[in-house]
Amino acid sequence: MIEDQSSFTKRSRGSSLEGSIVKYIFLACASLSILTTLAILLTLSYQAYEFFKEISIIEFLTGTRWTPILKPRSYGVLPLVSGTLLVTVIAAMVAIPIGLSTAIFLSEYAPDWLRRIIKPILEVLAGIPTVVYGYFALTFVTPLLQVFLPDLIIFNALSAGIVMGVMIIPMVSSLSEDAMISVPRSLREGAYALGATRYEVSLRIVVPAALSGIIAAFIIAISRAIGETMLVTIAAGATPKLTFDPTESIQTMTAYIVQLALGEAPVGSLEYNTIFAVALVLFALTLFMNLLGFWIVTRFREEY
Amino acid sequence: MTSEIGQQVILSAQKLNVYYGEFNAVKDVDIDINQNSITALIGPSGCGKSTFLRCLNRMNDLIVGASVQGKVMFEGVDLYGGEIDATEIRSRIGMVFQKPNPFPKSIYQNIAWGLKVNGFKGNYDEAVERALNQAALWDEVKDRLNNSAFTLSGGQQQRLCIARALAVEPAVLLMDEPASALDPIATLAIEELIKQLKDHVTIVIVTHNMQQAARVSDETAFFMVGENRSGYLVEHDDTQKIFSNPSNTRTEEYITGRFS
């Protein structure tokens, strides 16, 4: 007995050492992403601080003209924010209804063979490089829209927003479908057994039960739209303008950052530092979206 | 509804066969279910009793690859005849499942949901109270109707599911081992409830537990696994007769525990 016990303790000591090494490896990996985030935030804040030494935060946040490289210079970020929001709202209006409907179809209606065809196609859609979407918007969707809106200019928020919406459909649909598929079958059966139709089961049982996951999908997709760069750089224009008219040419925060980063602003100059001030706003916006998502998810959770 | 109790046939399966793909899961079942009676379906695992039960309100439609041949007559209509809407059937023939499956909603909404999808136009508060009373749950939950159904115990959840099914006033209630996930006390509560419900509704109950069949049912149908693993109906008679003097030796062997 005593021998048995000692060998038992020995072995468990060995494995606990192993266990703690493994634990630290995992911890290190987990820390990496946190440290990266902190490093980015620090860099942004430092450079933005340089910017805000010269331009007041109030002027930056409330100004309605953004002309940092043209005279008379003006540093109001609102036109860039409105440009980003405009494109994002259009994208969400396209992606949320279509993506959610796709998810409902795949999870509740589609026979197995059809799901096996559609899902890979959606994944291909998600894998297309954003630069391709940009040219698709510019050379296909915009001319198409001009058939209906003859006055539409080449670079416009509408076309970029629509294509951005198409781009994030797979994200909405695939994440929403995951949330819906994991709603237990027993709930569906309970509803069918009451004489509910497939439509009622889908919309009034499955979607509410999966709502927190579905909203999380929306938030992730919208955050993606806010941060998307290449598509809007190509198709939405380079004209910072405080407008909510989708037919106008605008500029998003991301597109501005690209424009400036590719330009000739000397490192450390005020123009150069605008990049970081704008990036900080972008960061704050996505952070806000995530917090909002978190709040909504906990508020609407239907546990099963 | 007010005819002599136990005399009128409400559901009748005729030469019923169920297939999962090629597999003949239930073979040639003929059975009459009397109105306002409790019929227990018993038999060893895999004998097709649950599968058969799910044919009676076309729940098998939801299983990919399942198909049914034969007839199920209900109120003079063949449930498997053309032009029959399965959702209409299920509001007349309700079902309670093995594991309690309340919706992730409030206690009140769990009952109201079924009423709503069935286009109920009356007073919801009264209907909810009536259903919860029928399921002997009202006194336990009347002060917390807006709490989540998941705050209830397992036995209460199952009674909530029964209340939910009763709320839409079905003619028949199918129960698929409704107490198998519950502790003995909750099981007894469910059994008491089932006996009381007989006045409102015809009950067909699948059970693994022979004592339960003997305790609650008026009639018992014994299913067996036959050739090629197909389930078939061996014997259907008054519960008393099945448990005291069955006609078939297989039935006797099963209820005396010689195989399970």
CATH number at residue B30: 3.40.50.300
CB pairs under 8 A between A and B: 78
- State which H helix or E strand residue B222 sits in: strand B219-225
**How close is the nearest chain B Cα to the Cα of A33, in Å?**
35
What is the extent of the structural domain holding B240?
A: 9-255
Q: How far apart (Å, rounded) are the C-alpha atoms in residues A107 and A99? A: 12
Q: Among B104, B150, B165, select the one facing A194 at the smallest CB separation.
A: B165
β-sheet bridge partners, residue B20: B23, B66
pLDDT recorded at residue B181: 87
Question: What confidence score (pLDDT) does residue A304 get?
Answer: 66
- CB of A111 within 8 Å of a chain B CB? The answer is yes
Give the residue among A67, A63, A87, A88 at the shortest CA–CA distance from A77.
Answer: A63
Tell me the pTM: 0.85
Q: Residues 101-120, chain B: which have Cβ within 8 Å of A?
A: 101-105, 113-114, 117-118
Reduced to 3 states, what is the DSSP secondary structure of residue B217?
Answer: coil
How does strand B231-238 pair with strand B219-225? antiparallel
Does residue B260 form part of some domain? no
**8 Å CB contact between B28 and B71:** no
Residue B110 resides in a domain: yes
Is there a domain that residue B69 lies in? Answer: yes
Q: How far is CA B87 from CA A189, B19, B90, B113, in A?
A: 12, 21, 5, 15
Is residue B260 classed as helix, strand or coil in its secondary structure?
coil
Q: Is B4 inside a domain boundary?
A: no
* DSSP helix/strand/coil, A57: helix
Q: Do A190 and B103 touch (CB under 8 A)?
A: yes
Is A211 touching B (CB cutoff 8 A)? no
DSSP strands (E only) in B38-180 = 38-42, 66-74, 77-78, 93-96, 172-176
pLDDT values of chain B reduced to their tens digit, one per residue, 260 residues: 334 444 689 999 999 999 999 999 999 999 999 999 999 999 998 899 999 999 999 999 888 889 999 999 998 899 998 888 999 999 999 999 999 999 999 999 999 999 999 999 999 999 999 999 999 999 999 999 999 999 999 999 999 999 999 999 999 999 999 999 889 998 999 999 999 999 889 999 999 889 999 999 999 999 999 888 899 999 999 999 999 999 999 999 998 887 76
First to last CA, chain B: 37
- Whether B64 contacts chain A with CB within 8 A: yes
Which among B241, B215, B202 has a CA at the least distance from the CA of B5? B202
How many CB atoms are located within 10 Å of the residue B241 CB? 13
Contact, A163 vs A137, CB < 8 A?
yes
Residue B219 lies in a domain: yes
Which pLDDT score is estimated for B260?
62
Residue A211 in tokens:
């709502």
* Chain A touched by B56 (CB under 8 Å): no
B204 and chain A in contact, CB less than 8 A: no
Q: A150 preceded by cis ω (within 30°)? A: no
Residue ranges in chain A whose pLDDT is less than 50? 1-2
* Chain B contact for A182 (CB, 8 A cutoff): no
The predicted pLDDT at position B64 comes to 85
Instruction: Decide if A274 contacts A51 (C-beta within 8 A).
Output: yes
Interface mutation target, options A194, A205, A300, chain B, most CBs of B under 10 Å: A194
pLDDT reported for residue B3? 40
Identify the helix (H) or strand (E) that includes residue B27: strand B23-34
Strand partners, B26: B18, B231
Complex ipTM: 0.92
d(CA A32, CA B73): 67
**Number of domain units in chain B:** 1
List of chain B residues whose C-beta atoms are within 8 Å of the C-beta of residue A200: 117
- Given CA atoms B179, B181, B187, B189 in this order, what sign does their dihedral have? negative
Q: Which amino acid, residue A50?
A: E
**Best mutation target, B89, B110, B113, B151, to test chain A (most A CBs within 10 A):** B113
Cβ-Cβ contacts under 8 Å, A197 against chain B: 87, 117
- Quick check: is B3 in a domain? no
**Beta pairing, strands B172-176 & B202-206:** parallel
SS3 of B74, please?
Answer: strand
Whether A232 and A163 have beta carbons less than 8 Å apart is answered as no
Hunting for tokens 């996930």 — which residue is that? B181
Burial class, B136, CB count within 10 angstroms (exposed 0-12 / middle 13-18 / buried 19+)? middle
DSSP A204: I
Closest in A184, A189, A197 to B59, CB measured: A189
**The two structure tokens encoding residue B54:** 């799910």
**Is residue B113 a part of any domain in this protein?**
yes
The pLDDT, as a whole number, for residue B6 is 43
Q: Is B165 on the interface with A (CB under 8 A)?
A: yes
DSSP-derived letter for residue A108 is: I
Output b/e per residue, A6-18; b: 16+ Cβ within 10 A.
Answer: eeeeeeeeeeeee
**How many degrees, rounded to 5, is the angle at CA B230 between CA B228 and CA B231?**
150
pLDDT in tens, A205-253: 999 999 989 998 999 999 999 999 999 999 999 999 999 999 999 999 9
Question: With contact defined as beta carbons under 8 Å apart, do B68 and B60 qualify?
Answer: yes
Q: What six digits make up the tokens of A29?
A: 């990996």
Q: Is the dihedral of CA A259, A264, A267, A272 positive or negative?
A: negative
Structural domain contains residue B170: yes
